[in-house]
Chains A and B, each alone.
Chain A
Amino acid sequence: MKVTGSHLVPLDRARVYSMLQDPEVLAACMPGCEKLEKSGEDSYTMKMKMALAAISGQFDGKVSITDQNPPGSFRLLVEGTSKIGFMKGGGLLTLTTEGDATCVAYEGDVQVGGTLAAVGQRLIDATSKMMIKRFFEKLIAVQP
Chain B
Amino acid sequence: MASVITEQEKLIGKGIKRKEDPRLITGTATYVDDMQLPGMHHACIVRSPYAAANIKSIDIKAALETPGVVAVYTGAAVKDVGPVPCGASLPGLRVPHHHILAQDRVYFVGHPVAVVVATDRYIARDGADLVEVDYDVLPAVADPEKALADGAPAVHPQWPDNVAFNFHQENGEVEKVFAEAEVVVKQRITSQRLIPSSMETRAVLAEYRSGEKALTIYSSSQIPHLLRTLVAGMLGVPEHKLRVVVPEVGGGFGSKLNVYAEEALMGWIAMKTGKPVKWIESRRENFLTTIHGRGHVDYYEIAAKKDGTITGIRLKLIQDLGAYHQLLTPAIPTLSVLMMPGLYRCQTICADIVGVFTNCVPTDAYRGAGRPEATHGIERMVDMLAAELKMDAAELRLKNFIQPGEFPFASATGLTYDSGDYAKPLKKALDIVNYMGLREQQRKARAEGRWMGIGMSTYGEICAFGPSPATPAGGWESASVRIEPSGKITVHTGVSPHGQGEETTFSQIVADELGVDFNDVVVLHGDTAIVQYGIGTFGSRGTAVGGTALYFALQELKAKIKRFGAMLLDTDSVVYEEGRCACRKTGNSVSLAEIAGASYRAMKLPPGTEPGMMATYFWEPPNFTFPFGAHIVVTEVDKETGVVTIQRYVAVDDCGKILNPLIVAGQVHGGVAQGIGQSLYEHGIYDDNGQLLTGEFMDYAIPKITMMPWIESEHTETPSPVNPLGVKGVGEAGTIGCSPAVVNSVVDALSPLGVRHLDMPLSPEKIWKVLQGGQA
Can you list, as one digit per residue, whether each of A91-128 has a CB less than 8 Å from chain B (1) or not (0)?
Answer: 00000000000000000000111110111011000000
Q: Tell yes or no: A7 within 8 A of B by CB.
A: no
Q: Is the CB of B695 within 8 A of A119?
A: yes
Q: Is the CB of B49 within 8 A of A114?
A: yes
Which among A111, A114, A118 has the greatest number of chain B C-beta atoms within 10 A? A118
Q: Is the CB of B284 within 8 A of A118?
A: yes
Q: Is the CB of A86 within 8 A of B49?
A: yes
State which of A85, A112, A119 has its C-beta within 8 Å of the C-beta of B696.
A119
Give min CB distance, B47 to chain A, whole Å: 8
CB-CB nearest in chain B for A120:
B695
Q: Tell yes or no: B699 within 8 A of A by CB.
A: yes
Q: From DSSP, what is the main secondary structure of chain B's interface residues?
A: loop
Given that A85-B49, A118-B691, A118-B693 are contacting pairs, would A113 and B109 also be in contact in the complex, using a CB cutoff of 8 Å? yes
CB-CB nearest in chain B for A123:
B698
Give min CB distance, B72 to chain A, whole Å: 15
**Assembled-state Cα–Cα distance A117/B696 (Å):** 10
Q: Is the CB of B698 within 8 A of A112?
A: no
Q: Is the CB of A113 within 8 A of B49?
A: yes
Which residues of the partner chain A approach B288 to less than 8 Å between Cβ atoms?
118
Q: Tell yes or no: B689 within 8 A of A by CB.
A: yes
State which of B129, B687, B698 has its C-beta within 8 Å of the C-beta of A117.
B687
CB-CB nearest in chain A for B125:
A83
Which residues of the partner chain B approach A83 to less than 8 Å between Cβ atoms?
129
Q: Is the CB of A111 within 8 A of B695?
A: no
How many contacts between A and B, using CB within 8 angstroms? 47
Which residues of the partner chain B approach A117 to less than 8 Å between Cβ atoms?
109, 687, 691-693, 695
Can you list, as one digit per residue, whether each of A72-86 has a CB less than 8 Å from chain B (1) or not (0)?
Answer: 000000000101011
Q: Is the CB of B698 within 8 A of A118?
A: no
Which residues of the partner chain A approach B109 to less than 8 Å between Cβ atoms?
113-114, 117-118
Which residues of the partner chain A approach B284 to less than 8 Å between Cβ atoms?
115, 118-119
Size bracket, chain B contacts:
10 to 19
Size bracket, chain A contacts:
10 to 19
Q: Is the CB of A113 within 8 A of B696?
A: no
Given that A113-B109, A115-B284 are contacting pairs, would A121 and B49 also be in contact in the complex, using a CB cutoff of 8 Å? no
**Assembled-state Cα–Cα distance A85/B692 (Å):** 12
Q: Tell yes or no: B649 within 8 A of A by CB.
A: no
CB-CB nearest in chain B for A122:
B699
**Assembled-state Cα–Cα distance A114/B106 (Å):** 13
Give min CB distance, B82 to chain A, whole Å: 29
CB-CB nearest in chain A for B47:
A114
Given that A83-B129, A85-B49, A114-B109 are contacting pairs, would A119 and B698 also be in contact in the complex, using a CB cutoff of 8 Å? yes
Give min CB distance, A73 to chain B, whole Å: 27
CB-CB nearest in chain A for B126:
A83
Can you list, as one digit per residue, whether each of B690-709 has a CB less than 8 Å from chain A (1) or not (0)?
Answer: 01111110110000000000
Give min CB distance, B292 to chain A, whole Å: 13
Which residues of the partner chain B approach A122 to less than 8 Å between Cβ atoms?
698-699
Which residues of the partner chain A approach B51 to less than 8 Å between Cβ atoms?
113
Which residues of the partner chain A approach B695 to less than 8 Å between Cβ atoms?
115, 117-119
State which of B50, B689, B696 has its C-beta within 8 Å of the C-beta of A118.
B696
Q: Using a CB-CB cutoff of 8 Å, which residues 51-87 of chain A contact chain B? A: 81, 83, 85-86
Can you list, as one digit per residue, whether each of B242-284 has a CB less than 8 Å from chain A (1) or not (0)?
Answer: 0000000000000000000000000000000000000000001
Which residues of the partner chain A approach B50 to less than 8 Å between Cβ atoms?
86, 113-114
Q: Tell yes or no: B287 within 8 A of A by CB.
A: yes
Q: Using a CB-CB cutoff of 8 Å, which residues 279-299 of chain B contact chain A? A: 284, 287-288
Which residues of the partner chain B approach A112 to less than 8 Å between Cβ atoms?
691
Can you list, as one digit per residue, whether each of B666-697 has a CB less than 8 Å from chain A (1) or not (0)?
Answer: 00000000000000000000010101111110
**Assembled-state Cα–Cα distance A114/B46 (Å):** 12
**Assembled-state Cα–Cα distance A114/B288 (Å):** 10
Q: Using a CB-CB cutoff of 8 Å, which residues 316-375 of chain B contact chain A? A: none
Q: Using a CB-CB cutoff of 8 Å, which residues 42-63 of chain B contact chain A? A: 49-51
Give min CB distance, B107 to chain A, whole Å: 14
**Assembled-state Cα–Cα distance A137/B687 (Å):** 33
Give min CB distance, A85 to chain B, whole Å: 5
Which residues of the partner chain B approach A86 to less than 8 Å between Cβ atoms?
49-50
**Assembled-state Cα–Cα distance A118/B695 (Å):** 4
CB-CB nearest in chain A for B688:
A111
**Assembled-state Cα–Cα distance A76/B165 (Å):** 44
Give min CB distance, A50 to chain B, whole Å: 15
Q: Is the CB of A111 within 8 A of B692?
A: no
State which of B49, B698, B699 has its C-beta within 8 Å of the C-beta of A115.
B49
CB-CB nearest in chain B for A86:
B49
Q: Is the CB of A111 within 8 A of B689?
A: yes
CB-CB nearest in chain A for B48:
A114
CB-CB nearest in chain B for A115:
B284
**Assembled-state Cα–Cα distance A122/B696 (Å):** 11
State which of A81, A85, A111, A121 has its C-beta within 8 Å of the C-beta of B693.
A121
Which residues of the partner chain B approach A85 to less than 8 Å between Cβ atoms?
49
CB-CB nearest in chain B for A83:
B129
Which residues of the partner chain B approach A121 to less than 8 Å between Cβ atoms?
687, 691, 693, 699
Which residues of the partner chain B approach A113 to less than 8 Å between Cβ atoms?
49-51, 109, 689, 691
Which residues of the partner chain A approach B129 to less than 8 Å between Cβ atoms?
83
Give min CB distance, A1 to chain B, whole Å: 9
**Assembled-state Cα–Cα distance A113/B689 (Å):** 8
The 6 closest A-B pairs by CB, nearest first: A118-B695, A114-B49, A117-B691, A83-B129, A119-B696, A121-B693
Q: Can you list 16 A-B contacts (CB < 8 A)?
A: A85-B49, A86-B49, A111-B689, A113-B49, A113-B109, A113-B689, A113-B691, A114-B109, A115-B284, A117-B687, A118-B694, A118-B695, A119-B696, A119-B699, A121-B687, A122-B698
Q: Interface of A with B (CB < 8 Å)?
A: 81, 83, 85-86, 111-115, 117-119, 121-122
User: Given contacts A114-B691, A118-B287, could you give 9 more A-B pairs where the C-beta distance is less than 8 Å?
Assistant: A83-B129, A114-B49, A117-B691, A118-B109, A118-B692, A118-B696, A119-B698, A121-B699, A122-B698
